[in-house]
Amino acid sequence: MLTWKDIVNFSVNGNLKPDKRIEKSEAQWQSQLTPEQYRITRLKGTERPHSGDMCTSHEAGIYSCICCGTLLFDSTIKFSSGTGWPSFTQPIKDNAVKYEKDTTLGMVRVEIMCNTCDSHLGHVFPDGPEPSGLRYCVNSESLQLEKK
C-alpha cells in the first residue's frame, strides 16, 4: 500500500517504470478526445467541482485512463470525499500513476498523471481515509468506467 511518504519520494526522486508507454502527437490526441477531455488531460485543466458524471457514481468496475485505457483505480477504493471530484485511496497498481511536484496557483501539491501516456488526472493529498490516508482527487473527464 502506498503512503504519503512514497508519493513525496516519487515526486522528488522519480517514478516507478510503467508497464508500457504510449506517445502520440498533440494532433492525434485532439482527434481522439473531446475538447473538454483534451483540455483536462493534455493541457492540465480541471473540471468544475461537482460537475463530473463520475463524482457521485458508485457503480462497480475499473476506472481507466480516457486517453490510453490503462487501468488506474478500482471502484472498491472509491469514496465520497465531499470535494466535488471522484476520490480514491490507492491506484490499482503502484506503477499505474505518475507523480510530479506542482507549484502552480501559489501552492505546493502533487499532480497525478497516467504513467503510460502522461495524461493529467488530478492531484493526490494526504487527507484521505485510513489505512492509506491518501485522497486521489481525479477529474471525471480523465476517466472511463469499465463496469463489472
- Distance in angstroms (rounded) separating the CA atoms of residues 118 and 99: 10
Residue 99's nearest CA partner among 71, 124, 117, 134 is 124
65 is in an annotated binding site: yes
SS3 135: strand
* 55 counts as catalytic: no
Would you state the cell numbers that stand for residue 117, as one nine-digit string?
501516456
114 is in an annotated binding site: yes
117 is in an annotated binding site: yes
Residue 81's nearest CA partner among 136, 146, 120 is 136
Distances in Å between the Cα of 144 and the Cα atoms of 14, 86, 109 are 27, 12, 24
* Catalytic-labelled residue, pool 66, 77, 137, 138: 137
Active site residues: 137
Pick out the residues of the known binding site for Zn(2+).
65, 68, 114, 117
Pick out the residues of the known binding site.
65, 68, 114, 117
